[in-house]
Amino acid sequence: MPQVAARINIEQERWLKDYFRTKSAGAEFILPWAVDTFFRAINAIKQMFSVAELKTIVEAHKDMKLMPDHTRLSYLLLRVADACDLNNVHMRHGASRSSLESKLKGLDDTQATALMVWASAFWVSRQCSAENLDDYIRAY
């Protein structure tokens, strides 16, 4: 099995040891589960939006460093609204701003976080190019 070096805080380490007896046993269970759960969730969430709306969301996350404290619906709404207000990103992709905002407001914080992680990941992926945005949106 491939190795991954993750960084966790002391509270997370304690939690893994309490629930799984060892940190390694916990990590070996949690990490694959989290990855699988993320991809199932993002696939379901993506179905709620049009391609134009997804492109708008991805572009709104360009040059953004995602911080754990900023992964809530309120930050997603603000990020997308700023991209629309300042750069007309929604118009560039042919998305209805009101429809997009309405759909985003229907998400919970966990769904919003998954969408933000997915959108931000495009910009640091090997696929990152304007030509590959359509492929990225269709993937998974």
pLDDT, tens digit (0-9, with 9 covering 90-100), for 22-44: 888 998 899 999 999 999 999 99
- What are residue 88's phi and psi, to 5 degrees? 50, 40
Q: What local confidence, expressed as pLDDT, does residue 19 receive? A: 93
Return the DSSP state at 43: H
Instruction: Give percent of the chain with pLDDT exceeding 90.
Output: 66
Mean pLDDT score across all residues of the chain: 91
Q: Give the model's confidence band at 138: pLDDT under 50 very low, under 70 low, under 90 confident, else very high.
A: confident
Query: Which residues lie below 8 Å from residue 111, measured CB to CB, with a gap of 6+?
Result: 41, 45, 73
Q: Is the pLDDT of residue 130 over 70?
A: no
Phi-psi region of 107 (alpha: psi -120 to 50; beta: other; left: phi over 0): beta
Q: Are 45 and 111 in contact (CB under 8 A)?
A: yes
Tokens (6 digits) for 68:
């754990």
13, 19, 51, 66, 123 from 75: Cα distances, Å? 28, 32, 21, 10, 18
